[in-house]
């Protein structure tokens, strides 16, 4: 599976990861391709940032809405795994946050990453769930490639690194120049 992201600023930009087989599974990164389509040379630094988890309690569900016992800050495409089945939600299956307001107790899910519609969860859901958060930051402790030079109009492929990312882990790519225009493609295989 391949995913694509565009990087335009010097801030480390998160590249979302594709779905994995299960909460204890991961993705083997087979390659990271970075294309510099600007008119001048640039360099890229690549980071692998581990995720953390947060346990939450589901108090109810109806239609496509799930309500938690307390507000939680959620972002679109954040992974969620429910401990018990309810309505049409299946326990131990990975779902993704489809829509949520900041620090809300109510949200909707999608059955696929970057889903285009909310999943109908049914009525009466209660139980526990695990939310996978990417709260780490790109730093020297999780850097995998430092200042890789990329000539203008060229593409480099990083395919020799052996990297396995767990559910919710992220890859960040940082450009050295603010005028940079890069595309990043990450290819993975579930393990």
- Residues 116 and 79 placed together within one structural domain of the fold: yes
- Map residue 128 onto helix, strand or coil: strand
The β-bridge relationship of strands 182-190 and 2-7 is antiparallel
- Residues 175 and 151 placed together within one structural domain of the fold: yes
Q: How many CA atoms lie within 13 A of 177 on its CB side?
A: 17
Assign residue 37 the CATH number of its domain.
Answer: 2.60.120
- Residues 59 and 126 placed together within one structural domain of the fold: yes
pLDDT of residue 118: 92
pLDDT of residue 50: 78
- Residues 155 and 87 placed together within one structural domain of the fold: no
pLDDT of residue 42: 85
- Write the DSSP symbol of residue 134: -
User: Of 86, 101, 133, which marks where a domain is finished?
Assistant: 133
Q: What are the C-alpha distances in Å from 47 to residues 73, 128, 151, 152?
A: 24, 32, 20, 22
- Residues 46 and 56 placed together within one structural domain of the fold: no
Q: What is the pLDDT along the chain (191 residues), one digit of tens a residue?
A: 555 444 444 444 444 443 333 344 567 888 888 888 888 888 888 888 777 788 899 999 999 999 999 998 888 878 888 888 888 998 888 888 898 876 789 999 998 877 889 999 988 778 888 887 765 667 788 888 898 999 989 999 988 877 887 777 777 777 777 555 777 888 878 77
Assign residue 72 the CATH number of its domain.
Answer: 2.40.30
- Residues 61 and 26 placed together within one structural domain of the fold: no
pLDDT of residue 119: 92
pLDDT of residue 18: 38
- Residues 74 and 122 placed together within one structural domain of the fold: yes
- Residues 81 and 119 placed together within one structural domain of the fold: yes
What is the residue range of 147's domain?
2-51+135-190
pTM (two decimals):
0.64
User: Of 101, 118, 133, which marks where a domain is finished?
Assistant: 133
């Amino acid at each position: 599976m391949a995913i694509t992201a565009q990087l335009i600023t010097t801030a480390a930009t998160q590249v979302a990861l594709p779905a994995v087989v299960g909460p204890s599974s991961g993705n083997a990164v087979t390659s990271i391709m970075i294309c510099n389509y600007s008119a001048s040379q640039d360099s890229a630094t690549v980071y692998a940032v581990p995720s953390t988890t947060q346990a939450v309690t589901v108090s109810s569900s109806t239609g496509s809405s799930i309500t938690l016992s307390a507000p939680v800050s959620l972002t679109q495409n954040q992974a969620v795994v429910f401990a018990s089945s309810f309505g049409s939600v299946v326990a131990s299956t990975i779902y993704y946050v489809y829509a949520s307001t900041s620090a809300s107790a109510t949200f909707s899910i999608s059955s696929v990453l970057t889903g285009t519609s909310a999943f109908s969860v049914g009525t009466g859901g209660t139980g526990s769930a695990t939310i996978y958060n990417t709260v780490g930051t790109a730093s020297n402790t999780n850097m995998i490639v430092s200042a890789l030079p990329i000539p203008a109009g060229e593409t480099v492929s990083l395919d020799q690194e052996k990297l396995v990312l767990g559910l919710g882990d992220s890859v960040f790519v940082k450009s050295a120049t603010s005028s940079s225009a890069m595309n990043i493609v990450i290819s993975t295989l579930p393990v």
